[in-house]
Amino acid sequence: MLRIGGKLLKDSHAAVRAENEVVEKSSWKRKDLLSLLVRANMAGDLPPNQRMSDEDVLARQCFFSF
C-alpha cells in the first residue's frame, strides 16, 4: 500500500507542477482527494512549518478513502 501510495503521490506532485509553476488555490483543476491534499500542501501561501510530510498526506488520503 505504501509503494502504490508513494507512486500516486509522486505522480500527483508532478501533475500539480505541470499545471502551474506557482501553486495557487484558484488554479486547481483536478478535484480528487489526493490532488486536493497535494495542492493544499504545496500552496505558496502555506508557511513551510505548516506543511505535511508525504507520509502524512498519504495517511490522510487513505483514512478518508475508507
pLDDT in tens, the chain (66 residues): 778 888 888 888 888 777 766 555 555 566 778 888 888 888 888 899 999 998 888 888 766 655
Q: Mark out the alpha helices in 1-66 (DSSP H runs).
A: 2-19, 33-42, 54-65
So what's the pLDDT on residue 23?
Answer: 55
So what's the pLDDT on residue 24?
Answer: 58
d(C-alpha 66, C-alpha 26), whole Å: 28
